[in-house]
Structure 1
Amino acid sequence: MQPAARRPTVGWLLFSPSGRAGRQVFILGWLFWMTVNCFTVSALAAHQDDEQVFGLLSVLFFSGVFVSAVSTVMLSIKRLHDMGLPGISVAALFIPAISFVMLFVLCLWPSVKGQNAYGAAADRPQS
C-alpha cells in the first residue's frame, strides 16, 4: 500500500524546493509577488513626504523584495523539476541577458507527463 500524498500548502509552494509546480501555479506565484511588491512601491510613492512612514515602508519594501526573491527561486526550482530539469538550472535567472528568456521558457514550456525523478504530479510536495 502506498502512503498518501501530502497535501500541498502555501508554505511548501512558496518556500520549499522539493516537488513540482505546473505553469499555472508558477505564473500565479509570480503574479502574487509582483502584486505585493507593486503595493509597497505605490505606498512608498504615496507617502514620500512623511519621513517616519516612508522609513517604515522602506523596511517593508526591502523585506518584501528579499522574501519574494527567495520564494520565486523556490517556485522556479519546482517549475524546472516539473519540466524534468535539475533545479540548479535556476542559476540562469541570475544572468541578465538570459533571465528574461528563461522566465518565458518557465512560463511556456510544457510539463513532463506523469511521474519523473522529482515527483508524481505537478503541484504536489515530494513524500
Structure 2
Amino acid sequence: MPEKSDLFWLFFKTSGRVSRAAYFLGQLLLAVIQLFPLYHFKLAPEGSPESEVWLSIFVVVVLATAWPTIVLNVKRLHDLGKSGLFVLVLFVPLVQLVAILLLYVYPGQPGPNLYGRQTNGPANS
C-alpha cells in the first residue's frame, strides 16, 4: 500500500519519473474520478435540478484533476528523458492523440537520467 506522501508526490509534484504502468494506473484513477459525476449527470433527467448539480460537480472535478493529469504527463516525459515543457504538445488537438499514445507505449530510459536516478520516484530519491 503506497504511503500518503507517495500519492501526493505522484499527483502533485513535477519532480521525478513514472513508468508506463504507474502512468496508466494514475490516468485510469483520474478518469474514474471524472467519469463518476458524468455518469450521474447522464442518468439525471435532462434540465432537472439534479442534472444541474451533477454537471456542476463534473466541471469542478475536471478542473480539480487538471493539475494531477499534467503532473503525470510531465513525469512520464521525464522518464523518457524529455523536458516537461513538451507537455504543451498535449494541448494541440490532433497531435495530442499521438503524443499520449507514445507516452503509454514507449519505454522509459533505463537507469538514471537528468530527471531522476530511478523510475517511480522523486528526482532526489
Normalization by structure 1: what TM-score?
0.87
- Partner of residue 32 from structure 1, selected from 16, 24, 29: 29
Number of paired residues? 121
Q: 1:32 to 1:24 in 2, by over 3 A?
A: same
Which deviates further from its counterpart, 51-60 or 104-113?
51-60
Q: Could you tell me how far 1:126 is from its partner in structure 2?
A: 2.2
Residue 68 (structure 1) aligns with: 65
Matches within 5 A, 1:1-127: 9-48=6-45, 51-127=48-124
| Counterpart-to-counterpart distance in 1, 2:8 and 2:66 | 15
Q: CA-to-partner distance for each residue in 1:1-32, whole Å, 9 max, x for gaps?
A: xxxxxx96111101111110000010111111
Q: Over aligned residues, Cα RMSD in angstroms?
A: 1.7
Q: Mark the runs of 5 or more structure 1 residues left unpaired by the alignment.
A: 1-6
Q: Give the TM-score, by structure 2 length.
A: 0.88
Amino acid at match of 2:111: G
Query: Which structure ranks higher in relative contact order (CA pairs < 8 Å, sequence separation ≥ 6)?
Result: 1
- Percent pairwise identity: 29
Separation of aligned partners in 2, 1:51 and 1:91: 38
Measure, in 2, the Cα distance between the counterparts of 1:80 and 1:105.
10
Which runs of no fewer than 5 residues in structure 2 stay unpaired? Answer: none
